[in-house]
Amino acid sequence: MAALPVYPWRLAPEGLATLRQLRAMDLRPGGQGVVAQIERPRRRRPPLVAYLYEVEQAKPVRPMTPAKWAALDKANAARRTCPECSRDAGYVIPVSLGVCVPCAYPDDEQRVA
């Protein structure tokens, strides 16, 4: 297996793009393999690596179907629902708390009121 070409950060040739760049153009790799990579140097740590794909072989992003939209709405509703009081918090409940803010800090409600 041949090694991938490695380019310095911001010096990749025209016609190659990262996944984020493809997505910004409403494209996806479409089954093609990685053709190169770019490396961004960092002090005292290993370099950041991003894989590059050919823009010409990229395909358009598939549109969301009604079933996918429904599944996304259901997943987001589950992230907003407090497992302790079963109310919709109106925001995504932080994983660090695990419950909505009023359930996590019940004493603070009495001080504010």
- Tens of pLDDT, residue by residue over 51-68, are 999 999 999 999 999 999
Would the pLDDT of 97 be above 60? yes
Would the pLDDT of 106 be above 80? yes
Alpha helices by DSSP H, listed for 4-105, are 19-24, 66-80, 101-104
Distances in Å between the alpha carbon of 106 and those of 1, 57, 82, 89? 60, 56, 14, 15
Q: Tell me the per-residue pLDDT of 4-25, one tens digit each, with 9 for 90 and over.
A: 999 999 999 999 999 999 999 9
Where does the pLDDT of residue 74 fall: very low under 50, low under 70, confident under 90, or very high at 90 and above?
Answer: very high
Q: What is the pLDDT of residue 1?
A: 54
Both tokens assigned to 51: 């894989």
Question: Which 3 state secondary structure label does DSSP give 79?
Answer: helix
Would the pLDDT of 89 be above 90? yes
Would the pLDDT of 103 be above 60? yes
Average pLDDT over residues 86-107: 92
d(CA 20, CA 27) in angstroms, rounded, equals: 9
d(CA 91, CA 70) in angstroms, rounded, equals: 18
Query: With 0-12 CB in 10 A as exposed, 13-18 as middle and 19+ as buried, what is 78?
Result: exposed
